[in-house]
Structure 1
């Protein structure tokens, strides 16, 4: 692919080899549809192979969201559909592993709500700058599926097992200030400062020894690579759950803006 082939990611080149990549579906809070999800598997190779780009900053269009989760129509198509699930599983794995394989520094400017695949990109970035009033959640369990698209590989390293278990099993939101305190993001700043700070960090990294910075990044990424089998298992469980009745009820509850009545939570007669 080339940069001009992307439909939902907008690119802007800054000075000294800094690339700004913007998730660009502002009319739906940059929610991930099938096309954007696929583009998130392709963009890292394009950046890796671009000799003019040394550092990439990823943000969301508008001031409401980084990426507000999966488009409900797309998620609905997954429920009970093995063919769609097979493709999504492969792509979800590619998003994680291709980010880990990209030697160039990735900085996330989390300007608003982050959920789903967008959250994976936000938290797998090498440096993350989040608005203090922004919020994120791994909302998988609210859909009746396991937390599988990135959380198992990185959350325990960031905030420890007790916090990871609590937030992944409850799907509670975490705001920017709390995320910084827990170690989930690098910095939390006022919203107006998010992108300028992210770009300033990118410029600093772009002026440094690229060989040294990239080698340091790739060495540290081996901590996450060790958790690869854990991530693979979580992703498989998530996709299996999409074939079950809880996922059907979870999606219906989100669509209806009501509490879910999961079949697996009902007591036997």
Structure 2
């Protein structure tokens, strides 16, 4: 949902509140390309992205059919395009994280130039909990924001944190009471929209070029490994468990699930 605000501020609202704004496959495509349109739009100076209802975005909608490997490869290419489009976008993007931001949703929130989170918003990467590599954004942006120690803790465990804790460790720019998150994000956007567009956009470009673009090889590796995970027994088990409302039993966590085969010991010479 698109809404134009004064002074060239564009509000983009993910609008599936009954599913906490989780994404269908066509939505991934649309959200990859919208940033090119925003950057080209002469009426837009600053964009704000938020979610309808009580959530920001909880990633892929698990109610969809299980993706095939071809689907996963296509999604990897879509995500690559989205990230490159975001990094190349000159106009500022602000995320108003009004509620749960998980997986792709957290990626969208953190890859924005400025992020404003509700104090009690739940933030979680979540990928390892469903048996796939954290490939959306983690190797690209997390180490720069919070350092490697915090990155590894939250990425490996898929632990949740609140918006208040996220601000404390530097994962988001600001936190606000839930009722004022969007208002604060729009106020920042309005201020930027009335500032020197050349100075603001070139500052963003100078920060993205090098700091973030240098990390693209790591991001592409994580995305490729994530794609392999979509074809794994672990991922399919996680989806089944979620639908059946039970604990996940990852095949790779079984006694023989993830053992690395070893070469047989050499036999001693006889006689």
TM-score > 0.5 by shorter chain: yes
Contact 1:25 1:31 in 2 (8 A): yes
Q: For 1:73 and 1:16, how far apart are their aligned partners in 2?
A: 39
- Cα RMSD of the aligned pairs, angstroms, is 1.2
Hey, what does 1:52 align to over in structure 2? 43
Contact 1:77 1:84 in 2 (8 A): no
Ranges of 4+ aligned residues in structure 1 off by more than 6 Å: none
Hey, what does 1:19 align to over in structure 2? 10
Q: For 2:246 and 2:156, how far apart are their aligned partners in 1?
A: 19
Q: For 2:38 and 2:18, how far apart are their aligned partners in 1?
A: 26
Hey, what does 2:84 align to over in structure 1? 97
Q: For 1:61 and 1:167, how far apart are their aligned partners in 2?
A: 26
Alignment partner for residue 221 of structure 1, among 208, 212, 215?
208
In the alignment, structure 2 segments of 5+ residues that lack a partner are 258-271
Q: For 2:123 and 2:59, how far apart are their aligned partners in 1?
A: 10
Farther off after superposition, 115-124 or 253-262: 253-262
Where 1:226 maps in the other structure, the secondary structure is helix
User: What pairs with 1:185-224 in structure 2 (closer than 5 Å)?
Assistant: 185-222=172-209, 223-224=211-212
Q: For 2:145 and 2:242, how far apart are their aligned partners in 1?
A: 29
Hey, what does 2:269 align to over in structure 1? none
Alignment partner for residue 263 of structure 1, among 251, 258, 270?
251
Hey, what does 1:5 align to over in structure 2? none
- Kindly state the Cα deviation for residue 77 of structure 1 after the two structures are TM-superposed: 2.3
Give the total of aligned pairs: 256
Where 1:107 maps in the other structure, the secondary structure is strand
Contact 2:66 2:236 in 1 (8 A): no
Hey, what does 2:23 align to over in structure 1? 32
- Kindly state the Cα deviation for residue 110 of structure 1 after the two structures are TM-superposed: 0.3
Q: For 2:128 and 2:171, how far apart are their aligned partners in 1?
A: 20
Farther off after superposition, 124-133 or 244-253: 244-253
Q: For 2:43 and 2:155, how far apart are their aligned partners in 1?
A: 38
In the alignment, structure 1 segments of 5+ residues that lack a partner are 1-9
Contact 1:143 1:254 in 2 (8 A): no
Where 2:95 maps in the other structure, the secondary structure is strand
Hey, what does 2:156 align to over in structure 1? 169
Farther off after superposition, 195-204 or 255-264: 255-264
Contact 2:132 2:229 in 1 (8 A): yes
Q: Deviations over 1:151-196 (max 9, x none)?
A: 1100111111011101111111110100000101000110111011
Q: For 1:254 and 1:101, how far apart are their aligned partners in 2?
A: 36
Where 1:72 maps in the other structure, the secondary structure is coil
Hey, what does 1:42 align to over in structure 2? 33
